[in-house]
Amino acid sequence: MRAGNMSRHLTGWLLASPLSLVLILFLVLPIAMIVVVSFWKATEFSIIPAFSMENYDFLFGSPVTYRVFGTTIKYALIVWVFTLGIGFAVAYFLAFHVRSQTWQIALFLLCTIPFWTSNIIRMISWIPFLGRNGLANSALISMGVTEEPLDWLLYSDFSVILAFVHLYTLFMVVPIFNTMMRIDKSLIEAAYDAGATGFQTLTNVIIPLCKPGIMIGTIFVITLVMGDFVTVRFMSGSQSANVGRLIQNDIALLQYPSASATAVVLLVTVLMVIGILLRFVDIRKEL
């Protein structure tokens, strides 16, 4: 019995060893390195091993930090609301209104294909829409909604949020669709038989049963938005900053210790959010 146990552990370790190796080398060690370097000092052109709280003191003493973390959380919350609303509606349509399985698969694939294409290209492709002479402005002018082209369409909070929603809604659609497909249809019929209206069925039966999918989608969207630095730079035309941008700026100035300190605070924030969300869902069971 004991020997059997031992060999089971051994097989498990052997099979898991390549995965563990990659994660230790390229996840655990880099995080450890960032934590260590966050206590180092920097000159203009080199970094010096030390144990100093300077970077954290500066970080927590600067009003910029709080503003930038505020912006990051603001983006995350707004994008979450939109992706959840859109993602839920799309998943609901696919799961409950599309009756033929072939169509269901085809439409589902249509929703997921952009995930496998380039994010940067998808961001660039908003330029002809939102620019001063873009499609949106010419449409608005020709409809007489506005006389002057709107400046805030591109390079603003609006365009940043639009791009985030564009890029990440499918991270909501897929897990919510997945949980919806597993709802036993007889539960919904039972709700109707018991006299529930469509809306009551939605709020009392479908939404509670979709909670795991909603949580997984939420984890994806929140972490992707909070960790982003490309979308904000590109879509705000460098006029807005989130934490990722702050880190990237420090990196560009070779201020690695200061970048590391900000990165540590960002990581702790993200992991706390995930820790809270994971209390509501057991990911391994939901796959």
Which residues within the stretch 41-70 sit at the binding site for another protein (CB under 8 A)?
Answer: none
Q: Does 249 bind another protein (CB under 8 A)?
A: no
Q: Does 19 bind another protein (CB under 8 A)?
A: yes
CB 80 within 8 A of CB 222: yes
Which residue in 105, 82, 86 sits closest to 95, CA to CA?
A: 105
- Measured from the CB atom, the residue of 13 and 66 that comes closer to another protein is 13
Q: Cβ of residue 63: shortest distance to another protein, in angstroms?
A: 22
Helices (H), the chain: 2-23, 29-37, 54-61, 63-92, 101-112, 119-124, 127-130, 135-142, 157-181, 185-193, 198-201, 207-227, 230-235, 243-252, 256-278, 283-286
Number of residues that bind another protein (CB under 8 A): 84
Indicate the helix (H) or strand (E) that contains 125.
Answer: none
- Measured from the CB atom, the residue of 54 and 129 that comes closer to another protein is 129
Residue 280 in tokens: 């509501």
Instruction: Please identify, among the stretches 57-65, 108-116, 141-149, 206-214, the one whose residues bind another protein according to the rule CB under 8 A.
Output: 108-116
**What CA–CA distance (Å, rounded) separates 233 from 239?**
8
Q: Does 134 bind another protein (CB under 8 A)?
A: yes
Q: Cβ of residue 153: shortest distance to another protein, in angstroms?
A: 12
How many residues comprise the chain? 287
Q: Cβ of residue 48: shortest distance to another protein, in angstroms?
A: 12
DSSP state for residue 149 in the 8-state scheme: P
* Of positions 43, 101, 102, 133, contacts another protein by CB under 8 A: 133
Q: Cβ of residue 199: shortest distance to another protein, in angstroms?
A: 10
Which residues inside 71-100 make contact with another protein, applying CB under 8 A?
86, 89-90, 92-94, 97, 99
* Of positions 64, 124, 190, 253, contacts another protein by CB under 8 A: 124
* Of positions 27, 81, 145, 268, contacts another protein by CB under 8 A: 27
Q: Cβ of residue 96: shortest distance to another protein, in angstroms?
A: 9
List 42's β-bridge partners, or say none.
Answer: 47
Which residue in 172, 51, 37, 36 sits closest to 115, CA to CA?
A: 172
How far are the Cα atoms of 32, 41, 54 from residue 46, in angstroms, in the given order? 20, 9, 16
Instruction: Please identify, among the stretches 75-83, 184-192, 205-213, 219-227, the one whose residues bind another protein according to the rule CB under 8 A.
Output: 219-227
